Homo-oligomer: A and B are copies of this chain.
Amino acid sequence: MGSIGIVRTEYFTPDKRPWPLESGATLPEITVAYETYGKLNSAGDNAILICHALTGDAHAAGWHKETDRVPGWWDPLIGPGRTFDTDKFFVICSNVLGSCNGTTGPASLNPETGRPYAMSFPVITIRDMVHVQKALLDYLGVKHLVTVAGGSMGGMQVLEWAIHYPDYLSSAIPIATCIRLSAQTIAYNQTQREAIMLDPNWQGGEYYDSQSPEQGLALARMVGIITYKSIKAWDQKFARAFSGTKPEDYYDFAQRFEVENYLRYQGRKLVSRFDANAYLILTKAMDLHDIGYPFENYHEALSRIKVPLLSVGVSSDFLYPPYQQKEIVKALLEAGGQAVYQEVNSPYGHDGFLIEFQQQSKIIGDFLAKIA
């Protein structure tokens, strides 16, 4: 059981130009950033696709260089002898369409204008992300997926995979996600977009030659981060720790509680690695997430799923609460499918799927062993 070691991000440009989108709009061309771990067998049927969340990227496992401070975002689950065992499986993770970590998104140059798309980048959907991933898998020679797994926005991709490519996979593992985005989550996303657009540096998205809307993006991230934790996790970590040192600091408007300093730090951290327009486009794609489309009803959508599905919830998640993952199982069973719900018992809220590796390893490992 060990790390996959040093890995690198690769790039793929599909021949299909222009690239068609669900909306009817097209992109002149697209590029996809991806990483692979392990080896594809000659039958091309030992592949596993990992799907990332809102601000994630293709770097799911391993290290880009030996001096990296942290490995890929799901590293404890991916490697030789690990849950997604790279001695057995060919594991792929790609940056989603609309993002800013190597795959085409609003910050990419539009070849037709030589300028970044900015907000001329079309609205995309989770299904658009999935179709791009399918093109990548075809290019890599993958004939069949053992499973598709991912949390949050990654879990939305997993569900669309199971519905739109039902014969291409043997199982699906959506985690901390939902059949359709709830009104509350749309509301949270909206406030995050409005924070970005309130920043005077946003300028309708045309900031690539000037100062970027760092404060707006940082504020968006701060709101997001609150929703990724839980009230008890925050209290365990910070309670009412205060950063002032003198007694009078307590009554100084500019002084802050440590939880505020932490949030500001997290906000700034995202700014250094993420594009504000991509944040707008991806949260909008999440808002549009609704597996019912374009079917008559959910039953019709779900009855397309032919493989066992493992739905995983995090007990303290209040953004995508466990009832939403149970809803997936209930609806799928009603549609004649096979599904099971498992819960990660954690105080960490939605972030649990990026923290609770031991529990997920057990739950996912047992599921994969059973379906093998």
Contact = CB atoms under 8 A, between A and B. Distances in A.
A281 B252 CA distance: 11
Contacts of A199: 198
Chain B CB within 10 A, most for which of A123, A198, A250, A290: A198
A186 interface: yes
Contact of A240 (B180, B190, B198): B180
Nearest to A199: B198
A198 B223 contact: no
A64 B156 CA distance: 51
A6 interface: no
A7 interface: no
Interface in A131-153: none
Interface in A235-266: 235, 237-240, 248, 250-253, 256-257, 259-260, 263
A interface, size bucket: 35 or more
Interface string A180-205: 11111011101100110011100000
Copies in the complex: 2
A24 interface: yes
Interface in A162-218: 180-184, 186-188, 190-191, 194-195, 198-200, 215-216
A88 interface: no
A191 B234 contact: no
Interface string A262-285: 010000000000000000110010
B231 A321 contact: yes
**Interface majority SS on A: helix, strand, loop or mixed?**
helix
A23 B250 CA distance: 8
A22 interface: yes
Nearest to A259: B183
Contact of A226 (B23, B123, B188, B222): B188
A194 B222 contact: yes
A251 B23 contact: yes
Nearest to A215: B198
A287 interface: yes
A182 B226 CA distance: 12
Nearest to A239: B183
A73 interface: no
Nearest to A194: B219
Considering residues A234, A239, A248, A290, which has the most beta carbons from chain B within 10 angstroms of its beta carbon?
A234
Given A22-B251, A24-B248, A180-B240, 12 more contacts: A23-B250, A24-B251, A119-B253, A122-B251, A123-B253, A190-B257, A190-B263, A195-B198, A198-B215, A250-B288, A251-B288, A318-B318
27 contacts: A23-B248, A23-B251, A25-B251, A122-B251, A123-B251, A123-B253, A180-B240, A182-B231, A182-B235, A183-B234, A183-B239, A184-B230, A186-B260, A187-B234, A187-B260, A188-B226, A190-B257, A190-B260, A190-B263, A194-B219, A195-B219, A198-B198, A198-B199, A223-B223, A253-B280, A253-B284, A318-B318
Interface of A: 22-25, 119, 122-123, 180-184, 186-188, 190-191, 194-195, 198-200, 215-216, 219, 222-223, 226, 229-231, 234-235, 237-240, 248, 250-253, 256-257, 259-260, 263, 280-281, 284, 287-288, 290, 318, 321
